[in-house]
Amino acid sequence: MHIYSIFTVIDYVIFAVLLAASMGIGLYYALSGGRQRTTQEFLMADRSMGCLPVSLSLIASFQSAVAIIGVPAEIYTHGTQYWFIGCAYILGLLIPAHIFIPVFYRLRVSSAYQYLELRFSKAVRICGTLTFIFQMVIYMGVCVYTPAFALNAVTGFELWGTVLATGLVCTLYTTLGGLKAVIWTDVFQTVVMFAGQLAVIVVGVQKTGGVADVWRKVWEGNRISGLDLNPDPTERHTFWTLGVGGVFLMLSLYGVNQAQVQRYLSSRTEKEAVRSCYMVFPSLQLALALSCVMGLVMFARYCGEDHSDKLASSSRDAMVIYFVMDMLHGLPGLPGLFIACLFSAALSTISSAFNSLATVTMEDLIKPQYPAMTEARATLLSKVLAMSYGLLCLAMAYLTHLMGDSVLQVALKIFGMVGGPILGLFCLGMFFPWANSIGALVGLCVGLVVAFWLGIGSILTRSTRPLPLECSANVTIAIQTAISLFFSQPSGLKRFYSLSYMWYSGFNCTTVILIGLIISFLTGPTKEEDVMPGTLYPLLGKLFCFLPEHLKKKLCCVTPLGQTVSEKIDLIAKNLPLNKTELVYFSSLCKKFSQKCNSATHHLYIHI
């Protein structure tokens, strides 16, 4: 039984226009520019992108329907504690901007996992790539499934037909238009996403009696959580699990995830890439604020009642759609706008995932095996891969159907369980020169095993206790908390399983680094001079900058960060005994040289 069949023709038109616009952008990039004939264009957008589209595309990659639906459900059930994840965005973006981007950008890699071969070995690169593929395929399944399932639960909007339509449109424009199409559709879809959420908030506040009324109800309903500094790591959401554990989550996404690294590398210069990372911060805070406020307005609207009886599913996620349709029905076009917002969020994430999966499969798994492959065949194969990943993710959507739990929790657990160990692998390589490839391999494997042991263990023994829904329930909460404190405090393994999922990224990253270092020292640590230049970041040197030079030498990693080729040429040019005319001749010589080399050195220019 479905509550609302409120979709008027105009709503379907708006949804169709969204899909058509995305297709249009994809076709435009398939027929313009280099017409997607080379992998440099198809996978790297010719490294010609500006910081604005890149920054909006960076947001879109990991802001899908999961956040649009899952965050309001989270705020409605547990209060605004989740909002503190915004504190993790500061370090979570500064570290990628000043550590990961320079290393990746100056190595001129196309995929993040090429770094692993340069620093360790081909085996480490392949394991890193396969882990990434595993993570993104499951995550894509959640992203395709979420909007279709939520809509079907409330509005009877055709479920699998929607999943199919979304998946096919997305596969088509990603396959036709490559990274340029994906980035520009992400820009368009991010705007639609913000518009849809804003519409729900404006109408919702207006229908719930205005801002003052909403504030009073959420305040009385104890939904405005204070700063919870409880150090207990098994406490689901505290300032520490969100603000500190969240930093590791952000690093695994915005620091080393291929979908984001590819965007940094598609920027026209390193400065543009760093600038796009900075520009992500305000938009990410806005996205977080919009979804948290939506959850508060929803609480103000229903604080006491529980409508799950009326819905086809008892999950709070479906409740969010019920709230939206309750607010927007009778306003023709707005339900269609929200549907467009939901699917824009989903499409922009799925297309980024497809494109990054096709890139790593080509760059890390196929090209190294078939170096003689022609450009045309390689590009064709990339397109076939994008199509096959599209179909695979439809299958994963069905798997999500079986996962239960809140979609936000599922997505964040996947990032923690799989993204965390990958982050550990890169940190091991960049910050610890002694790490060798055996250590890296064993560290990654042990990290993944421990991550899945913890993740699955927590699912089997879970007992999240949502706050009571009554509006003014201060007394019962106090009693309930006292009771839970008295009975809880599980010990031993159960305590291990009850580690907050927001610590998974940090915990698994640390496991990989520790195991990796132990194994490296046991099997003969790498000497600093044997490490490929440009693959180390002198983090320890910077952290212990107060130490005397000889000790830092002992601690190693005082090597300066890899210089760009142009910096090296400048250095040479300055030291050469050349006069002005000879310098000009030298620079024209370098330009000819760089045109002959492959694009890897195409920014070989000289400042005179």
Ligand X SMILES: O=C(O)CCCC[C@@H]1SC[C@@H]2NC(=O)N[C@@H]21
Binding-site ranges for Na ion (CB under 5 A): 60, 63-64, 345, 348-349
Name the token pair of 28. 């435009």
Name the token pair of 236. 């689901």
Name the token pair of 197. 């959420």
Q: Which does 67 bind (CB under 5 to 8 A by kind): ligand X, Na ion, none?
A: ligand X
Q: Closest CB to ligand X among 72 and 178?
A: 72
Phi-psi region of 537 (alpha: psi -120 to 50; beta: other; left: phi over 0): beta
Amino acid at 415: F
Residue 376 CB neighbours (<10 A)? 10
Q: Would you count residue 337 as binding ligand X (CB under 6 A)? A: no
Q: Which residue has the tokens 């099997």?
A: 523
| Shortest distance, position 171 Cβ to ligand X, whole Å | 18
Q: Which does 287 bind (CB under 5 to 8 A by kind): Na ion, ligand X, none?
A: ligand X
Ramachandran angles phi, psi of 215, nearest 5°: -60, -45
Q: Would you count residue 14 as binding ligand X (CB under 6 A)? A: no
Site for ligand X in 567-596 (CB under 6 A): none
- Rounded Cα distance between 141 and 395, Å, is 7
Q: Closest CB to ligand X among 110 and 190?
A: 190
- Rounded Cα distance between 559 and 541, Å, is 9
Considering only CA atoms, give the Rg of the chain: 25
Q: Closest CB to ligand X among 29 and 62?
A: 62
Q: Which does 166 bind (CB under 5 to 8 A by kind): ligand X, Na ion, none?
A: none
Q: Which does 171 bind (CB under 5 to 8 A by kind): Na ion, ligand X, none?
A: none
Q: Closest CB to ligand X among 51 and 411?
A: 411
Amino acid at 450: V
Give me the DSSP letters along 87-109.
Answer: GHHHHHHHHIIIIIHHHHHHTT-
Angle between helices 258-265 and 51-61 (to 10 degrees): 180
Q: Which does 162 bind (CB under 5 to 8 A by kind): ligand X, Na ion, none?
A: none
| Shortest distance, position 283 Cβ to Na ion, whole Å | 12
- Rounded Cα distance between 313 and 153, Å, is 6
Q: Which does 284 bind (CB under 5 to 8 A by kind): ligand X, Na ion, none?
A: ligand X
| Shortest distance, position 106 Cβ to ligand X, whole Å | 26
Q: Which does 187 bind (CB under 5 to 8 A by kind): Na ion, ligand X, none?
A: none
Q: Closest CB to Na ion among 238 and 348?
A: 348
| Shortest distance, position 345 Cβ to Na ion, whole Å | 4
Inter-residue contact 141 to 393 (CB < 8 Å): yes
Inter-residue contact 262 to 357 (CB < 8 Å): no
Q: Closest CB to Na ion among 66 and 88?
A: 66
DSSP 8-class letter at 561 = P
| Shortest distance, position 191 Cβ to Na ion, whole Å | 12
Shortest-Cβ-distance residue relative to ligand X: 67
With CA atoms as reference, report the closest residue to 388 among 422, 354, 417: 354
Q: Closest CB to ligand X among 385 and 410?
A: 410
Q: Pick from 287, 423, 557, 604: which binds ligand X (CB under 6 A)? A: 287
Name the token pair of 249. 């989550």
Q: Which does 385 bind (CB under 5 to 8 A by kind): ligand X, Na ion, none?
A: none
- Rounded Cα distance between 495 and 27, Å, is 53
C-alpha angle 64/70/76, rounded to 5°? 150
Q: Closest CB to ligand X among 256 and 438?
A: 256
- Rounded Cα distance between 391 and 386, Å, is 9
Q: Would you count residue 85 as binding ligand X (CB under 6 A)? A: yes
28 CB burial (10 A radius; 0-12, 13-18, 19+): middle
- Rounded Cα distance between 81 and 321, Å, is 22
- Rounded Cα distance between 45 and 34, Å, is 10
| Shortest distance, position 438 Cβ to ligand X, whole Å | 33
| Shortest distance, position 229 Cβ to ligand X, whole Å | 21
Site for ligand X in 239-278 (CB under 6 A): 249, 253
Q: Closest CB to Na ion among 136 and 473?
A: 136
C-alpha angle 307/313/318, rounded to 5°? 70
| Shortest distance, position 311 Cβ to ligand X, whole Å | 22
| Shortest distance, position 120 Cβ to ligand X, whole Å | 28
Q: Which does 101 bind (CB under 5 to 8 A by kind): ligand X, Na ion, none?
A: none
Inter-residue contact 341 to 193 (CB < 8 Å): yes
Q: Closest CB to ligand X among 381 and 418?
A: 418
- Rounded Cα distance between 594 and 447, Å, is 42
Inter-residue contact 455 to 504 (CB < 8 Å): yes
Q: Closest CB to ligand X among 287 and 303?
A: 287
Cα 376 off chain centre by: 31
Q: Closest CB to Na ion among 60 and 116?
A: 60
Binding mask 117-156 for ligand X (x = CB under 6 A): --------------------------x-------------
Element (H, E) at 395: helix 375-401
Q: Which does 60 bind (CB under 5 to 8 A by kind): ligand X, Na ion, none?
A: Na ion
Site for ligand X in 52-81 (CB under 6 A): 62-64, 66-67
Q: Which does 348 bind (CB under 5 to 8 A by kind): ligand X, Na ion, none?
A: Na ion
- Rounded Cα distance between 351 and 526, Å, is 39
| Shortest distance, position 288 Cβ to ligand X, whole Å | 6
Q: Pick from 131, 166, 189, 349: which binds ligand X (CB under 6 A)? A: 349
Q: Closest CB to ligand X among 54 and 471?
A: 54
**Which residue ranges make up the site for ligand X (CB under 6 A)?**
62-64, 66-67, 85, 143, 249, 253, 284, 287, 349, 408, 411
